[in-house]
Amino acid sequence: MSKLFPLKGCVQPYAWGGSSFIADLIGYKGNEKTIAEYWLGAHANAPATISTPQGEKKLDAFLLENPLLHLGSYVQNNYKRLPYLFKVLDVKDMLSIQVHPTKKQAEVGFEEENKKGIAPDAATRNFKDDNHKPEIMVALSEFWLLHGFLPEVALLQVLKDNPEFSELISIFKSQGYKGLYQTVMEQPQEKCNKQLRPLIDRILPLYEAGKLDKSSPDFWAARAASSPKDSQTIDKGIYSIYFFNIIKANEGEAVFQDAGLPHAYLEGQNIELMANSDNVLRGGLTPKHIDIKALMEHVKFEATIPNIFSGDESNNGMEKIYRTPVKDFELSKIELPALQSYETQCETIEIILCIKGKVMLTEGGKQLTLEKGASALLTSGAHYKITSESAPQLFKASVPE
CATH topology of domain 94-304: Jelly Rolls (2.60.120)
* 388 to 144, 336, 370: CA distances (angstroms): 33, 7, 10
Low-confidence ranges of the chain (pLDDT < 70): 228-231
User: The domain 312-398 is classified under which CATH number: 3.30.43.10, 2.60.120.10, 2.40.50.140, 3.40.47.10?
Assistant: 2.60.120.10
Provide the pLDDT for residue 338: 81
| Residue ranges of domains in the chain | 94-304, 312-398
Residue 45: predicted pLDDT: 87
Domains 94-304 and 312-398 share a fold: yes
| pTM reported for the whole predicted model | 0.95
Phi then psi for residue 396, to 5 deg, are -125, 130
pLDDT the model gives residue 399: 95
Q: Which pLDDT tens digit goes with each residue over 284-320?
A: 998 888 999 999 999 999 999 999 999 999 998 999 9
Catalytic residues: 282
